[in-house]
Chain A
Amino acid sequence: MTRPAGRALALWLLAMLAGAVIVWNSRFSADMSFFLPAKPSAEQQVLVDQLKEGVVSRLLMVAIAGGDAADRATASRALRARLEKLPEFVSIQNGEAGSTDADRDYLFKHRYLLSPAVTPERFTVDGLRQAVGDSIDLLASPAGMMVKPLLPRDPTGELVALVSGLNAGAQPNVRDGVWASRDGERAMLLIQTAALGSDTDGQERAIGLIHSQFAEAAADGRLSLQLSGPGLFAVKSRATIKHEVSLLSTLSTVAIVAVLFFVYRSLRLMTLGLLPVVSGALAGVVAVSLAYGTVFGITVGFGSALIGEAVDYSIYYFVQSGRLGVDHWRARFWPTIRLGVLTSACGFGALLFSGFPGLAQLGLYSLSGVVVAALVTRFILPPLAGSNLGMRDLSHIGPRLKRGVALLQGLRWPILMLSLTAAVLLTVNRERLWHPNLSALSTVSAADGEIDQALRADISAPDARYMAVITAPDRESALQAAERAGQKLDRLIAEGVIGGYDSPARFLPSEAMQASRRASLPPPDALQARLQTALTDSPLAANKLAGFLDDVETSRRQGQVSRESLNGTALALVVDSLLVQRPAGWSVLLPLRPPGGDKGVDIAIEPVRAALAGSGALFVDMKNEFDTLYNDYLHEATLLSLAGFVAIVGLLAVTLRSPRRLARLLLPLLLSVVLVIAGLHLAGQQLHLLHLIGMLLIVAVGSNYALFFDDASQSARGFEDFDDATLVSMAVANLTTAIGFGTLALSKVPVLHAVGITVGPGAILALLLSACFVSRKGEA
């Protein structure tokens, strides 16, 4: 080995070692942040926060089936009792009686500070007469049964005023004292984890605990447990990605090694050939890790395609330089390969500018992988391999390939006609080509989605689609803003625009509001005098209301209700989930409920926006935000693909300096794109974002082959004298690329599948069509 070769090798080894250290220390993640916007708008930030930390993202729904209703109820109680002791869970609801006693006690005890009806007018003679009169009227109603025991202490009906604002909507069924499904055949629980929705490890632990505790609680095996929720989706999706990353890389590596071995028949060459691949894959992960801090599992999964692409360069080198030597290869072929690397880099590089973090990572990963693989092939491989490659001569395959090419060239018109038909088909169906929303990229299987829907309907779990969001510098101003927004929302309820809303201020009013309510309460002798006058003709004698006077006086003297006062109640959880401290201040969430009934499950957005205008509250429709997000991604991906395409065309135009050659080179690539997309559409695939990126990559990757044919057509001798070894190397390189992307097509992860199913066939078509349209003797 020569000294420069030794230096190069040492340098490479060092670089690899450093890379390995970085990869070892990298953080890998398989969570949904792959899909979440890098630079979110205010509305999208709400969405992101909800997905990562929101209460809904921490809810798990559990159904217990089998046995009889009594068995299920017993198991439900036992499971709740067990889970309640564990710090991994903040609340376990199963509808058990007694589980809401603490809440009721809190509301009753502090009713004069909490009730929205408490105003100075309420405690005037007229106000008292009216309020007590209403309570007595309520006694006549069947609901009076519940009110009667409270009347002596709460004659103005503050608890009723408080409770009537709460969600009176759908409650789950109850069998044997615990929640049950609609058909009554399953016991239902709603569990909130302590772990955030974005903490996949925590979610996995919580889910494991639920299963193990259930197994112990219902040991006889007659009952079974079903579970769903965002946490389960995150855990499952991570498992799928983990599983696929190793499976796909192994598959693609084994297949490619087999091809290389078949071609080279030499262990040494095969090992050397994999060197650039390994370097490229390592460089990809290192670049992503350094640039983003976290490497997404899906990005690593993309490695199987990178392997197929990066191995091409060493194939070119070994096969093409076998007969003529390294120097000839560098002079004759390297410029073409270099141009191919650059076009690929343009394609992957366009993705770097994406606001969709997953896409940007895929771009950086592939870009650095391909460039490093090419550099290693050019500078490290030749000195390592030495001058005597021992490559067997493959040129005897050349003539056979040429006969195939000649056959293809006879099909030019049929192929053009076919492509034209495909183009017409795509134009006619252009409205139906695309999948309309982000769920296209979700790894949640249809079966899991259905189970989730069923459980959600059975337990009437909140879906938190509509929210008003307020931000404020501190807790007090946040609560005051919530109260102001609440007044506007009350008006919307009266108008029937919304059905109701939740607010942290309902259970924890701002200090200002508490003070004003307290100031509305008259001193004892004044209250007694007014009560006496107000109740002169009432069937309720004022002297029976000593408890009321005591309670009002207690409220007048007691301190503020604070967050600590809520400890031990389920209301604390409600307040904590709706009033959140963030690094930059406090956020209030006011989930809105649709009006229901014949007005449907949607909220008319404009009236709510108009009502909240100027209150500082931002109205967010989560579903709408998801759709907007996806459309933004799609729109951006379209622009990026076009930009990438323009960059590739520009690069080729500058290098080739011939519009005619450029057109001849691009034609087969564009035809490949049209044919692949038409094929996917006919096969029933709904296209999404990643198919679009795949289209760009067909051009970026396919141009490598087209460039060789362009090069061949430039030599004066014409295609018939095309170097046999080069033709063989292209066939082999194309095969490995197709294997690499083809393995991705096997993936259940939609992001990987879409790229694979598009680029795999696209790469093969690009080679075949380039061969088909290469100029014949005398044409050029």
Chain B
Amino acid sequence: MTKRLLACLLCLAVALPASAAFDIAQLMGDLAKHKGGRAKFVERKYLAILDKPVVSTGEMTYTAPDRLEKRTLTPKVETLLLDKDILSIERDKQKLSINLANQPEALAFVDSIRGTLSGNRAALEKNYALHLAGNSDKWVLTLLPSDQKIASMVQRITVTGNKNQVRIIEYLQADGDRAVLNIDPVDPGSGK
């Protein structure tokens, strides 16, 4: 047991030599301190079938550790609410609720963003291998799915941020399409 632990630590040390001063534990600690806040977002989806990206904008509200509301205002009003394991989507007059406990793949996907926002390293490492680059002021966290089922949907998730604020989330899907979510806090001081 001790041997394996040592081996893992060694691996980490080799894999992330540059970030010795700023490691995942530290980042997660910073993120966990973020208690939530409001932000504007712009999401661009680059799809092979479309000549131009689809752009949607709106507002996001995060309340640590497990409530996230994403209100899309353009091109069409839509509300997405993630509360614990219940994901609800409201669009037009239709409302759809999904219990993520029933959808392991979707849960893993949702955990990537939720785990990052709340600094929950254990939840992230359950499904992804984590790689960190940069420093506290500008860090890039890369999530590579370790499960084949998730990998068949998403190749890589890249999260960019400064301090405890997530700024950009990029999803690279298995088919090469990607989505880039830019987050712009409305009141950056509120989280501290």
Contacts and interface: CB of A to CB of B under 8 A. Distances in A.
A218 B100 CA distance: 29
Nearest to B74: A140
A151 B54 CA distance: 14
B72 A152 contact: no
Given A136-B54, A174-B103, A184-B101, A141 B49 contact: no
A164 B89 CA distance: 13
B54 A140 contact: yes
Interface string B75-99: 1101010000000010101101001
Given A173-B99, A173-B102, A184-B101, A540 B89 contact: no
B1 interface: no
Interface in A141-187: 141-144, 148, 151-152, 164, 168, 171, 173-175, 184
A539 B101 contact: no
A431 interface: no
Nearest to B110: A142
Contacts of A494: 93
Name the interface size band of chain A: 20 to 34
Contacts of B177: 148
Contacts of B144: none
Contacts of B50: 136, 139, 539-540
B55 A140 contact: yes
Given A140-B76, A164-B94, A173-B102, A152 B89 contact: no
A541 interface: yes
A140 B43 contact: yes
A137 B57 CA distance: 12
A175 B101 CA distance: 8
Nearest to B96: A168
Given A168-B96, A173-B99, A174-B103, A141 B52 contact: no
A657 interface: no
A85 interface: no
B45 interface: yes
Interface string A113-156: 00000000000000000000000110111111000100110000
B94 A539 contact: no
Given A168-B94, A173-B102, A540 B51 contact: yes
B49 A140 contact: no
B98 to A, nearest CB: 9
Nearest to A174: B102
A180 to B, nearest CB: 8
Contacts of A540: 49-51
A144 B80 CA distance: 13
B130 interface: no
A430 interface: no
A143 B88 CA distance: 11
B91 A143 contact: yes
Contacts of A184: 101
Nearest to A164: B94
A144 B89 CA distance: 12
Interface in A517-547: 539-541, 544
A494 B54 CA distance: 30
Nearest to A141: B78
Contacts of A140: 43, 45, 54-56, 72, 75-76
B49 A148 contact: yes
A139 B53 CA distance: 10
Nearest to B91: A141
Contacts of B76: 137, 140-141
Contacts of B80: 141-142
A539 B51 contact: yes
B47 interface: yes
Contacts of B75: 137, 140
Nearest to B87: A142
A142 B102 contact: no
A139 B91 contact: no
B94 A139 contact: no
Nearest to B76: A137
A142 B89 contact: yes
A139 B51 contact: no
A143 B80 CA distance: 10
B114 to A, nearest CB: 14
Nearest to B80: A142
Contacts of B96: 143, 168
22 contacts: A136-B50, A137-B54, A140-B56, A140-B75, A141-B56, A141-B76, A141-B78, A141-B91, A143-B96, A144-B54, A148-B47, A152-B49, A173-B99, A173-B101, A173-B102, A174-B102, A174-B103, A175-B101, A184-B101, A494-B93, A540-B49, A540-B50
Interface of B: 43, 45, 47, 49-56, 72, 75-76, 78, 80, 89, 91, 93-94, 96, 99, 101-103, 177
Given A137-B54, A139-B50, 17 more contacts: A139-B45, A139-B47, A139-B54, A140-B54, A143-B89, A144-B45, A151-B49, A168-B94, A171-B102, A173-B99, A173-B101, A174-B101, A175-B101, A175-B102, A184-B101, A539-B51, A540-B49
Nearest 7 pairs between A and B by C-beta? A174-B102, A539-B52, A140-B56, A539-B50, A140-B54, A137-B75, A137-B76
